[in-house]
Amino acid sequence: MLLAIDVGNTNTVFALYREREQLGQWRLSTNRERTAEEYAAFLIQLMRLKGFAPEGVSAVVIASVVPPAVAPLRRMSAEFFGCTAFVVGEDLDYPIRIALPNPGEVGADRVVNAVAAIKRYAPPLVIVDFGTATTFDVVDSEGTYRGGAIAPGINLSIDALARAAAKLPRIAVAAPERVIGRSTIEAMQSGIFWGYVGLIEGLVKRIVNEYGSPMTVIATGGLAPLFFERAGLFNHLDPDLTMAGLLEIYERNRERVRAGKRKGQK
């Protein structure tokens, strides 16, 4: 089995695969101080609840945008799963051309999303990932990663508004029926949600206009379903794109990654 790990700024996602079938997926809040033992205690217990033992894991692949989390995850993989963890962008090269002045500064999740999107959809592409930040990534017609845009995630916007305005409460993300709110809560929900829809639509339209030809637009990430239908520009909803990209990179490096399993373990 493959253990794929996506370390985001807010959550760390673990997914277990046999071939291309996902057997289980678990989320843990990202904490830069978390130890290898803490990761292992969380993950192994949940795996056992589904009937899987750590000995069954034969490969570990990681994508991370939180550098301090990598070392304890490497140690967890070695000590508790008997595997050498391979980190995308460090141990494994991206199987995609990155046409930027400094390719190394691009977040691993953004490139991994692009790898999966090219596999599933015909470029050119715009990939909108609703995470801690909302990222807009561009893949041209030749399958080359061209960069994109980064905006604050909607929950960051809500937190900032509640912290800076003493009389405004923190609200949940919701799609109000009316734009004109008739209470403070309704007005905040309208401004946050429909304002964010306007941001998404505006940026995507500018990207497509700048590119100069029609593009396929994909929504991914935790809040993608909320915006998929209400922002009238998406062609596909693909919430699990990052994990699909990690799986694709593993498949292209299968023998090298599996060789990281400790001798004597099967």
Written as one string, the DSSP assignment of 187-212 is HHHHHHHHHHHHHHHHHHHHHHHHHT
Task: Say how far apart CA 249 and CA 114 lie, in whole Å.
Answer: 11
Angle at 9 between CA 171 and CA 103, to 5 degrees: 130
Helices marked H in 19-177 — which ranges?
36-49, 70-80, 108-120, 154-164
Residue that the structure tokens 């599933």 belong to: 120
170 three-state secondary structure:
coil
186 three-state secondary structure:
helix
Two tokens, residue 27: 């989320």
Report the DSSP pairing between strands 21-29 and 216-221.
Answer: unpaired
Two tokens, residue 215: 């593009």
Q: Indicate which residues carry an active-site annotation.
A: 109
